[in-house]
Structures are given as structure tokens and as C-alpha cells.
Amino acid sequence: MLPFPQIDPSIIEIGPIKLRWYGLMYVGGFLAAYFLIQRQPRAKRLGIQGSMLQDLFLYLAIGLVVGARLGYVLFYQFSNFGQYLQNPLEIIAIWHGGMSFHGGLVGTLLAGALFCRRRKFFFWEVADLVIVTAPIGLGLGRLGNFINGELYGRASTVPWAMVFPGGGPMARHPSQLYEVLLEGLLLFIILWALKDRHFKPGAMVCFFIGGYGILRFIVEFFREPDAHIGLLWGVLTMGQILCLAMILTAIILWALLPRRKGSLTQQPLS
């Protein structure tokens, strides 16, 4: 068994203002994505640099936060949805915790679609450009979860199991680190290696959605199910249900994607 590293979740505290590692991970993910997007030849060909890239990131940041919060309320708090209706402001209270990756993905895709429609870019080209950098933010976010001692794994006797502060006396899988390695590092390496190959527009989005769905589905077997939901039908977690939906979506999307190749810059979203 390994000792859990007692890292203070707050880096700096000045009165009511706190700089937390988890928030810093989000910032780091966006900065890394911003840097790597600019380095791709596709970004130069599309003209998404400078102020145009900054505008895109503004759309994506808003879509991520709104989508992640609404996804958490709809997917993971459906049994308490009546309480949210009685107190609607609680829906946007992100400072109380509770964000969903699946909701965040939907939010960023919709925000990206809105950006492309307004700026008259071909959506799938822009989506392919951005999505290959997404695993970096995912990996950093899971590292933030680990520092916070949250979203830990199931009880285990593996030599690297840890006793998490909020997880009781049992040693558990450090499933957040599994996600850092699989959904973060491994998925990034795969997408980055494939990004310049001649696939049809939207292919990288399919690879990301399907790849994440498969890897997250596997990790969920080691991750502690949400206490207020448990195992659905005694078998699957809510996360696995959503991942199955992602895998199915990737397959259907691949079949429906336009087959046009070559430069698709400055074409309206269809």
C-alpha cells in the first residue's frame, strides 16, 4: 500500500480568495491546448490564429463550464432534480462542486458549432483541430481530482492502493491516476499521431469520442460508483452508461460524416 500524498488543495489563500490546484489544472489545460492548436498546420490553413483563436477559446470555455455543470445536474443528480427546480440558482453554483465531463463535451461541441456558424468555418475541420488537444485538459483535471482526494477508486489490495482521506479506512485504487494515464496521456498520444493523416473531416472527433468512451468504460470498473446512484441494474455505473452512448455515437457519426476531403476552410456549418 502506498501513502496518499497530503497535498493542500489550495495553493494560496488570501482572505476569501483561494487559488486551488484543481482550478490551475483547468487553466493549464487551456494554455496547453492554445499552444498546441497554433502549432498544427491545419490552424494556419484555416486561419484560426491570433484573435480568431482567442474568440474560439472564449466560446469553448463558456460551453465547457455551462455544459459540465448542466450535465452533472441532469446525469448525476436526476434523483434530486426537484430540489434544483425549487432553487434554480443552485444549478449554476459551480463553486459547490459537481461537473460532468460528458456534459462538458456536449457544451463545447455546441459552443464550437455556434462559433463556426457565426465565423463561417466548416465545423468538422475546426473540431478536428481542437479535439486532439482535449486529452491534456482531461488528464490535468483528473490530476486535480487526485490532489483533492475525490473520485477515488474501489477498495483494493493491489500494492499501489491508497487510503484516501474521504474514502474511509479501506485502501483503494488511485483511479484518478489511471485516468491521467489512459484518458489523458495515452489518448493524447494516439490522437496526436493520427491528426495529420488523410481521414475524412470529423474523424478525429470520432476517434476522441470513441477512444475516451472505451478507456473511461474500463476505468469505471476500478472507480468507486457515485454513492447516491450506485450500480445501475447491479452491473454498470452511470459513467459506463454514458460511455456506451459515446461509443455508439462515434460509430454512427463516422457513418454519417461528409466524405469531402482537402481544404474545407471558410465553409459554413451544414
Query: What would the pLDDT profile of 111-140 be if each residue is shown by its tens digit?
Result: 999 999 999 999 999 999 999 999 999 999
Which range is least confidently modeled, 16-25, 181-190, 248-257?
16-25
CB 71 within 8 A of CB 63: no
Would you say residue 50 lies in a domain? yes
Structurally, the chain folds into a number of domains equal to 1
Phi, psi of 119 (to 5 degrees): -95, 0
Work out the end-to-end distance of the chain between its first and last CA atoms, rounded to an integer number of angstroms: 54
Sequence-ordered list of residues with C-beta below 8 angstroms from that of 57, at least 6 positions apart, any chain? 30, 33, 34
3-state secondary structure (DSSP) of residue 180: helix
| Cα(167)–Cα(169) distance, integer angstroms | 7
Would you say residue 167 lies in a domain? yes
| Cα(194)–Cα(40) distance, integer angstroms | 12
Taking each helix axis from N to C end, the angle separating 50-71 and 21-39, rounded to the nearest 10 degrees, works out to: 140
Taking each helix axis from N to C end, the angle separating 203-219 and 187-194, rounded to the nearest 10 degrees, works out to: 160
Would you say residue 3 lies in a domain? no
Average model confidence (pLDDT) across the chain: 87
Would you say residue 108 lies in a domain? yes
| Cα(200)–Cα(208) distance, integer angstroms | 14
Nearest to 210 by CA among 249, 239, 236, 181: 249
Sequence-ordered list of residues with C-beta below 8 angstroms from that of 8, at least 6 positions apart, any chain? none
CB 75 within 8 A of CB 100: yes
| Cα(63)–Cα(86) distance, integer angstroms | 25
Would you say residue 180 lies in a domain? yes
Question: In this structure, are strands 10-14 and 17-20 parallel, antiparallel, or unpaired?
Answer: antiparallel
Would you say residue 267 lies in a domain? no
pLDDT surpasses 60 at 74: yes
Nearest to 264 by CA among 156, 165, 137, 126: 126
Which range is least confidently modeled, 36-40, 85-89, 138-142?
85-89
Question: What is the residue range of 27's domain?
Answer: 20-256
pLDDT surpasses 70 at 265: no
